Structure 1
Amino acid sequence: MTPFPHLAQRLFNVPIAIHPQKAEVVMAALADRLGIASMFRGGELISLKPQAFDDEEIGGPSSRSGRRERDQGYDLVGGIAVIHVTGTLVQKLGTLRPYSGMTGYDGIRLALLAAMQDPDVLAIAFDIDSPGGEVAGCFDLVDVVYRLRGEKPMWAILDENAFSAAYALASACDRITVPRTGGTGSVGVIGMHVDLSQALGKAGITVTMIRHGEHKAEGNPYEPLGKDALGRMQADIDTMGELFIDTVARNRGLKASEVRATKAGTFLGDAGLRAGFADVVSSPGAAFRALLNTL
């Protein structure tokens, strides 16, 4: 059975913390695979990037040989556990590492907890390049990272971007480094409602919703979204957006009003420093070397 309808349920008609442009890309890619390509235009699949830290920058080929006989979800490089966070972030992926353009909060959590218990791990580096993803599971993971901060040094090393849910994760770390061409921010939540009613009608298909309870199946894709339903969905988005703002403000030592004033904007390179969203502009390799030098 194809996994795309299941993935669509996790991205459409639910709140997500993702960069809007990537949301359009994901919607277009899924639309094509769900047989509704005529509703959308363009798009590309999100691909998994290779490791960010090349051998020359961090000190020779031995630096990359970090996998153990039993994979715990991170690479051990010079005493640093490197946890890769790439592609779209989802609540449950069922793997310790990124897979098929996605990273699971479940895998990140297990890798982090294992690294914290590993006596060979002296510090943790989150290698991040992600537009964000699901709200579900995001803030629980961020709170875990925040609570563990101080036990071992934790740096978010961006290669290239940490937007939305990915930035929430980065903000919980001790230090955030961003490349000159990398981005931070997009502290906001969006929802995408898919209305298939007209398309189904043109295809000669009628879906009748039989419900008990006025709000049951509210926001389903087979009926136009009513004004009251839109209002309730907007209220949920606003609640989660304020949670996002408060979380980033706590993590970064900023005022909530300062984070809110960014209006979910994104910041390139050193603009992120001025916004308080990053600590230093640095290439991933140079940032990793700097973390090594602190040990």
Structure 2
Amino acid sequence: MKFAHLAQRLFNVPLAIHPAKAEVIMASLAERLGVTHIAHAGPAEAGAWDDDDDYYNRQGDNPRAGYDLLGSAAVIPIRGTLVQRLGTLRPYSGMTGYDGIRQNFLMAMSDPKVEAIVLDIDSPGGEVSGCFDLVDAIYNARGEKPIWAILNESAYSAAYAIASAADQITVPRTGGTGSIGVIWMHMDWSKALAEGGFKVTFITHGECKADGHPEIPLSKEARERFQADIDAMGDLFVRTVARNRGLSEKVVRGTQARTYLGAEGISLGLADRVAAPDAAFLALLQQLAAN
């Protein structure tokens, strides 16, 4: 029943994720979201978007850390869909947890062998919950050690929010930045339930208590209220990126959650230079050696 767990993380919650990625996930789950699969996932079902990504789950040189120390730079991998709590220090099964990124970042900041931190990012974004607290923690650590976001290949939405907190962002020619926005997808299961012979009755205290549940259609009033929440989160996203990148809120808001390829993002101030990941990492090591 892992697909029920995935559906609960995808639908009826605010996401800072590239729309194309959301569509891919929705398509992959569509055949599995029949009435017979509507259930609540237990702890053992917390799992995967896919099952073939073990590379970043290795232990590295320091079994207590989820980052690799290459030269004097700590490389923190940020891969796949971003979630609030994953319970591992490295990306696992196509996901990375904000909890793991935070712990890795704090360990690297306090590690005397680490002179610089690389956020090695290739992610379409993910959950809003937990994202901006992590972004603030990275931003507030600026000046202690160099922090570079090296995109390998893209950083969209929540992943871009994280990248924007770094001192410098490099992006490959074919990589991307942007998607500064929030999306909320309401899954209405009411027709499927009715066709399956099910009728759900909510007994609530408070007339808005059941708003947003997938078992019932979304009312006009509930939609307006949720839109206000999404707008508030979007405004937070805009303010955060504007602060991190030294841009005006008008410029950031004017992107309207568009994505930008390579040098196009640099022209807007969303990244600093075009560079292949290995070239960007070498430039950082050279900078450290020169200092």
Query: For 1:151, what is the secondary structure of its paired residue?
Result: coil
1-side partners of 2:63 and 2:3: how far apart?
31
Aligned ranges for residues 1-295 of structure 1 at < 5 Å? Answer: 2-35=1-34, 48=53, 67-295=60-288
Runs of 4+ in 1 over 4 A off after TM superposition: 44-51
Deviations 1:77-126 (A, max 9, x none): 00110000000000000000000000000000000000011100010001
Structure 2 distance, partners of 1:49, 1:237, is 34
Q: TM-score, normalised by structure 1?
A: 0.89
Q: From the superposition, tell whether residues 34 and 199 of structure 1 become closer, same or farther in structure 2 (CA, over 3 Å).
A: closer
Could you tell me which amino acid in structure 1 is paired with residue 119 of structure 2?
F
Distance 1:280 1:234 in 2: 35
- Counterpart CA distance in 2 for 1:114 and 1:4 is 34
Tell me, what secondary structure is at the counterpart of 1:112?
helix
How far, CA to CA, are the matches of 1:175 and 1:34 in structure 2? 42
Distance 1:85 1:31 in 2: 27
Is the Cα–Cα contact under 8 Å of residues 26 and 45 in structure 1 kept in the other structure?
A: no
Q: How much does 1:159 deviate?
A: 0.8
Give the whole-Å Cα distance in 1 for the aligned partners of 2:22 and 2:171: 22
Q: How far off is 1:3 after superposition? A: 3.4
**Structure 2 unpaired stretches of 5+:** 37-48
Cα distance in structure 1, aligned partners of 2:86 and 2:193: 31
Aligned residues: 276
RMSD across aligned positions (CA): 2.1
Assess, with a 3 A threshold, how the Cα gap between structure 1 residues 24 and 49 changes in structure 2: closer, same or farther.
farther
Letter in 2 for 1:170: A
Give the superposition deviation at 1:199.
1.0
Amino acid aligned to 1:10:
R
Counterpart secondary structure, 1:89? strand
Q: 1:48 to 1:250 in 2, by over 3 A?
A: farther
- The one-letter code sitting in structure 1 at the alignment partner of 2:244 is N
Quote the offset at 1:217 in angstroms: 1.7
Change over 3 Å in CA distance of 1:278–1:69 after alignment to 2: closer
Offset at residue 200 of structure 1 (A): 1.0
The structural deviation recorded for 1:34 is: 3.6
Query: Normalising by the residue count of structure 2, what TM-score does the alignment of the two structures yield?
Result: 0.90
CA distance in 2, matches of 1:155, 1:69: 21
Q: What is the letter of the counterpart of residue 122 of structure 2?
A: D
For 2:9, give the aligned amino acid.
R
> Relative to structure 1, is the Cα distance of residues 163 and 179 closer, same or farther in structure 2, using a 3 angstrom cutoff?
same
**Distance across 1 between alignment mates of 2:16 and 2:86:** 17
- Identity rate, percent: 63
8 A Cα contact 1:66 1:77, kept in partner: no
Matched residue type, 2:8? Q
Cα deviation code 1:246-275 (max 9, x no counterpart): 000000000000000011100000001001
Per-residue deviation, 1:243: 0.2
CA distance in 2, matches of 1:47, 1:86: 13
Q: What's the secondary structure of 1:92's corresponding residue?
A: coil
2:19 partner amino acid: P
2: CA distance, partners of 1:174 / 1:206: 54
Unmatched 5+ residue regions in structure 1?
38-43, 52-64
Aligned residue identity for 2:121: I
Q: Which amino acid aligns with 2:115?
A: L
Shift of 1:28: 2.3
